[in-house]
Structure 1
Amino acid sequence: MSELDDANGLIKQAKLAEARKLLAMFLKENPGHQRARNTYFETLCFLGEYDRAHTQLETLMTLGTGGNPAIPGRDTHQIANLYFNALSAEKARRDFYESGRVPEFLRVPPDSIRYRLEASLELRSGSGPQAVECLRKAEQLELPVEWSIDGRAHSGIRDADDLLGPVLEFLTSTGEYCWIELNRIQAIYFRPLQYWLDTLWRPATVMTLDAGATKGLLPVLYYGSHLSEQGQIQVGHSTEWDDSQEFYRGLGQRMFVAGEDFFPVLELQTLLATGADLAENVSQPDEPPNGE
């Protein structure tokens, strides 16, 4: 077996750091191997190494000149731009969690969202009790969200991570990290899973009251999952919860919750707001590259 075969085996075992090393070694000897470089790019994305991933994507585009696209897909440049923008948005997301950069919004955020932003600042400074108080103030201003999830009605839907709650994290097709209020969303249409990167960034079209149809990617993993020592968390095969601060923070695959029902984001297809009046035909998210 080649180093590439070994690396693919390690990826299936969720041993990403080991796979990255083997792929780097393989590419030193085989710099023009497109499939290996694509897998290396994807692995770096899961590991949160966005600058290196950006470099690999640029190299893939160079390898794909002359009518031989390195990234299989409907339109090589279109798909590459999708992921260049995803990397930019992920960097902005990282800056939010690590240095307090404010997300983008579709409208001026209400006081409830401002309290959640304050809670994130308190968490970064280590002030857990103050963060709890901010989240309590936010919850007092928030109304339950009623949605149909894959055809079944549910009330009180929210992100199971208490910092986010009634907020959808979204990476726009123009490279922005955006917070979208769930009560401003009319529908979310997820593209069926096809490729490995779909399990990191789920292609979706979000219909909102403020911006109409917005295409982009829903980050599947809670922020910080790439730093976990558990491979199953890094690849989103499981979710774990930290309740040490009197509220729940997630690692691994994102979950929505309604009452006692949990909904892993990779299992969802369509979310519709109760009573939403939508057009019948909504264009689907752009097809991502082949994840072989």
Structure 2
Amino acid sequence: MTAEDYLKAGRLSDALQSLQQAVRGNAADPKLRVFLFQLFCALGEWERAVNQLNVLASLGPETKMLAHVFQPVIQCELFRDKVFTGEHTPIIFGEPEEWMGLLIQANEMAAKGKYDAAAKVREQAFEAAPASPGTLDGKPFEWIADADMRLGPMLEVVMEGHYYWVPFCRIQRIHIEAPTDLRDLIWVPAQFVWVNGGEASGHIPTRYPHTEKSSDDQLRLARKTEWTERDGLSIGLGQRILATNDGEHPVLECRMIDLAPAT
């Protein structure tokens, strides 16, 4: 079996072993190096992924651009890891409001195991956060949130070399691209229109924090989502789920989200 075959079968370690053998036989093949970079990302081998990007930067202009895009994305992933262990504070997109600070405070409490106190602060944040009505692929909803209660009315976004928590109420439109490559299962490309009319391109982390540390390759490949309940707090692993009053929506199946201005 080839590395591609092992990947389709959801066997990441076997895919890595097969691919490394192929790279040893043709070390200058940029396609093999790109595949190896993406596989290291799926496995959470961030240092080795950066090493592959450094090699790719020297192989030609196209792979140099790939390295230019994803070197800061990986640094954001390392920063993100520490946000969910309570060691770093996320950057809020736009002017911070009180409920946003409460949500960050609740995340820090939960990271320290103070789930009861975190739940009370999180409840205050959720009550104060504005509902964001709109449509998801043409289907109307009254509100939208991340199904992971650590985030709720916030969307994780990586753009311009920074990791943000973006309130849904500050977004006018999200266009999520259909996944075409392995790296899209880790960070799915998206275009954003903000409520002030500004536009930006970036990535939405496809997987919930620390998924790469799981031993389940189906989670690491964003082929499923699992939930852990801790004192009323739902913590996700695997593919991100967006929740509306109409149900749950895996992020890789969403394409266009239009949001009405907050009233």
Alignment partner of 1:222 is 2:208: yes
User: Is 1:62 matched up with 2:58?
Assistant: yes
Q: CA deviation at 1:220?
A: 0.6
| Residue of structure 1 equivalent to 2:104 | 117
Q: Which residue of 2 aligns with 1:185?
A: 171
Instruction: Tell me the CA shift for residue 84 of structure 1.
Output: 1.6
Comparing 10-19 with 21-30, greater Cα deviation is found at 21-30
1:254 paired residue number:
240
**Residue 269 of structure 1 pairs with residue 243 of structure 2:** no
Contact 1:188/1:205, CA 8 A, preserved across alignment: yes
Give the paired residue count.
262
Instruction: Tell me if structure 1 keeps the 8 A contact 2:176–2:254.
Output: yes
**Residue type of the partner of 1:18?**
D
What root-mean-square deviation, in Å, do the aligned CA atoms of Structure 1 and Structure 2 show?
1.9
Match of 2:41 in 1: 45
Q: 1:137 aligns with which of 117, 124, 146?
A: 124
Q: Is the 8 A contact 1:106 1:211 kept in 2?
A: no
Distance verdict in 2 for CA 1:88–1:210, change over 3 Å: farther
Give the Cα separation in 1 of the matches to 2:87 and 2:236. 19
Question: Is the CA contact (8 Å cut-off) linking 1:87 and 1:175 kept in structure 2?
Answer: no
Match of 1:105 among 92, 104, 109: 92
Paired residue for 1:91, among 78, 81, 85? 78
TM-superposed deviation, 1:204: 0.7
Offset, 1:122: 1.1
Provide the rounded CA distance (Å) in 1 between the counterparts of 2:64 and 2:31. 17
SS in 2 for 1:19: helix
Deviations 1:114-135 (A, max 9, x none): 1111111112211111111121
TM-score, normalization by structure 1: 0.84
- Name which of 184, 189, 200 aligns with 1:198: 184
Structure 1 letter corresponding to 2:98: D
Give the C-alpha shift of residue 211 in structure 1. 7.4
Residue matched to 1:27: 23
Shift of 1:29: 4.1
Q: Deviations over 1:226-259 (max 9, x none)?
A: 1112111110000111123212111111011112
Amino acid at match of 1:9: D
Question: 2 CA distance for matches of 1:57 and 1:96?
Answer: 25
Report the Cα distance in structure 1 between the residues aligned to 2:197 and 2:215, rounded to whole angstroms. Answer: 39
Q: Secondary structure at the match of 2:84?
A: helix
Is the 1:132–1:246 Cα contact (8 Å) retained in structure 2?
A: yes
CA distance in 1, matches of 2:36, 2:181: 14
* Secondary structure, counterpart of 1:243 in structure 2: strand
The Cα shift of 1:76 comes to 4.0
Please say if residues 232 and 238 of structure 1, whose CA atoms lie closer than 8 Å, have aligned partners that are also in contact: yes
When normalised by structure 2's length, the TM-score is: 0.92
Residue identity over aligned pairs, in percent, reads 27
Gaps in structure 1 of 5+ consecutive residues: 70-74, 277-292
Q: Is the 8 A contact 1:155 1:258 kept in 2?
A: yes
Contact 1:167 1:181 in 2 (8 A): yes
Q: Please, which runs of 5 or more residues in structure 2 have no aligned partner?
A: none
Shift of 1:209: 2.7
